Structure 1
Amino acid sequence: MNPETYDAVIVGGSYAGMSAALPLARARRRILVIDGGKRRNRFVEASHGFLGQDGRHPADIAADARKQLLRYATVQWIEGDAVHASGEFDAFQVALEDGTSYAARRLILATGVTDELPNIAGLAERWGKSVFICPYCDGYELNEGRIGVIATGPMGVHQALLLPDWGTTTLFMNGHAMPEQAEVDHLTARGVRIETGVVCQIDGRATIVLEDGRRFEQDGIFTGPRMRLSSPLAAQLGCDIDDSAFGEMIRTDGMKTTSVKGVYACGDATQGAKSVAIAVGDGYMTGAVAHRSLIFD
């Protein structure tokens, strides 16, 4: 084996990627983490729902994790964007923007997703501050206040049905078709109000303005952005990619193996449910599976 070949290269140094690196590091495997520094939750001030870290700034959680990971002598870290990947089992190559290339026996893709937000004036500026996606992450802090849900498709009904546990909820259809009658009945039973008008602007902290001029002051807003993979590497390697209700996702089996032998994927790029806690657990299992592959495959 070429001494310049890493046991594993992990692309993505956020929560899932670092967690995947940890079991490999503890097995004293030589690994490289390549990170572009664009955590998906970089827009928020506090991360919630991760036991032991609840309410901390997400950047602080990530910084502590990186410091702990780099205590292991076999871990190397490079800041930069991986732009190309190729190769096959036991002989993969990952290249950076500057042309530098790294060889690996296994690849772990923890490359994340990018949120494609609804094209509504004022929404992007409030993303992660008063406009959110996950009620489990951000609903509690609204203190049972007024919550608006802006539909971007069928998942709007799903969000609206969840959110009454966190506050008084209004579903803004924003030009989308009304839900089926059974869904309307379920929404009504949950106390959800439905507004059919088109949203043209978000004003103030979280005021929803409709095209007809009506204004609905909210304490927080939830919406479901379309998600696309943040990196082309999975496609370049030939990994199967699914088009889900949430957007693009790298297809993996129950052991986080992609359709390409020797390539694993974890974190937001592989599943609909997304949070720091989920990413950490998902990444750790992926790293352990990749380590076993180095022994048994």
Structure 2
Amino acid sequence: MNFDAVIIGGSYAGMAAGLQLARARRKIVLVDVGQPRNRFAAHSHGFLTQDGTPPAEIAAEARSQLMEYPTVEWRTGQVAAITGQADNFSVALADGGSYQARRIILAAGVTDELPGLPGLAELWGKHVFHCPYCHGYELGKEGIGVLATSELAMHHGLMLPDWGATTLFLNDAFAPNAEQLAQFKARGTQVEYGAAARLNEQAEGVELVMQDDRVFSLVGLFVAPRIHLSPLIAQLGCELEESPMGSIVKTDAMQTTSIPGVFACGDIARAAGSVTFAVADGAMAGLAAHRTLMFGI
């Protein structure tokens, strides 16, 4: 089947890209595996008109509106391979299906590699978070923790006092120097040395147990996970750039990648995970792809 664009990933960025192309009466298909990155969170925050709405509800309404356009198709499945070049891409699905497309929009998101602390994965998105703007406000003003996995924890340790009293648990991940300790002191961040042993859920938060048996009750814990891209990125050969959390696809202001005819948007192309950013970048990718369909690469 031939399409103007195949959009890989049907979450916020992918649907935002699709909406622009649908309104330009272009024939598109979105291929989505149904695993949005924020599926672990009960509520989404910071997105205008939808603050506090469950992520699944935002996505369901977006999909409902998008599918009203007659040139849009939706395919639940996994993309196995992308070959070809601009105006003649071939997209093979894991179930044996395939599509031909003039343009590719990558919106497949990323996979979070969480610290191996026992109990943490079960509480991800519930009491353990990575974005203060998304989840900090609801925690109140007391007992916010940061679990270090590298020196990147400096970022959380210096930010989070704006949301509440913050303790940075160094977790044997790095040793702050005198200048860094002075920065923490200036921000009011308490620093605790030693390694974490496990995380237990409590009625109103979490209990962080240290290897030396010290116990800290927290309303929430922040960590900086490493991110991993879809194998399709390496297969296509898109140029990457390094972010503090891992590699992302390098794009220009129009969400164009280094591969002609291929665009990238959402968490796959921006280190800051946010519904607002995903929608904005997706819209730009859709507009840019339409521009090249009109005028050429």
Same fold (TM over 0.5): yes
| Separation in structure 1 between the aligned mates of residue 96 and residue 250 of structure 2, nearest angstrom | 28
Deviation readout 1:200-231 (Å, 9 max, x if unpaired)? 100133111110000011010000010101x2
Q: Does 1:240 align with 2:239?
A: yes
**Contact 2:145 2:218 (C-alpha < 8 Å) held by counterparts:** yes
Aligned match of 2:73 in 71, 76, 92?
76
1:54-69 maps to which residues of 2 (within 5 A)?
54-69=51-66
1:213 matched to which residue of 2? 213
**Contact 2:86 2:102 (C-alpha < 8 Å) held by counterparts:** yes
| Separation in structure 1 between the aligned mates of residue 250 and residue 83 of structure 2, nearest angstrom | 18
| Separation in structure 1 between the aligned mates of residue 181 and residue 23 of structure 2, nearest angstrom | 52
Shift of 1:244: 2.5
**Contact 2:151 2:174 (C-alpha < 8 Å) held by counterparts:** no
Structure 1: gaps of 5 or more residues: none
Deviation readout 1:45-89 (Å, 9 max, x if unpaired)? 100000100000000000000000000000000000111111111
* Structure 1 ranges of 4+ moved more than 4 A: none
1:146-161 maps to which residues of 2 (within 5 A)?
146-161=143-158
Instruction: With the length of structure 1 as denominator, give the TM-score of the two structures.
Output: 0.97
1:28 partner letter: R
Q: Does 1:257 align with 2:248?
A: no
Shift of 1:184: 1.4
Most deviating of 197-206 and 61-70: 197-206
Q: Does 1:164 align with 2:152?
A: no
Q: Does 1:112 align with 2:109?
A: yes
Structure 2: gaps of 5 or more residues: none
| Separation in structure 1 between the aligned mates of residue 266 and residue 201 of structure 2, nearest angstrom | 34
2:222 partner letter: F
**Contact 2:4 2:102 (C-alpha < 8 Å) held by counterparts:** yes
1:181 matched to which residue of 2? 178
2:190 matched to which residue of 1? 193
| Separation in structure 2 between the aligned mates of residue 210 and residue 143 of structure 1, nearest angstrom | 24
Identity %: 53
Q: Does 1:12 align with 2:9?
A: yes
Aligned match of 2:29 in 15, 29, 32?
32
RMSD of aligned residue pairs (Cα, Å)? 0.9
Most deviating of 82-91 and 70-79: 82-91
Q: Does 1:274 align with 2:278?
A: no
Most deviating of 48-57 and 89-98: 89-98
Most deviating of 125-134 and 201-210: 201-210
Instruction: With the length of structure 2 as denominator, give the TM-score of the two structures.
Output: 0.97
Shift of 1:113: 0.4
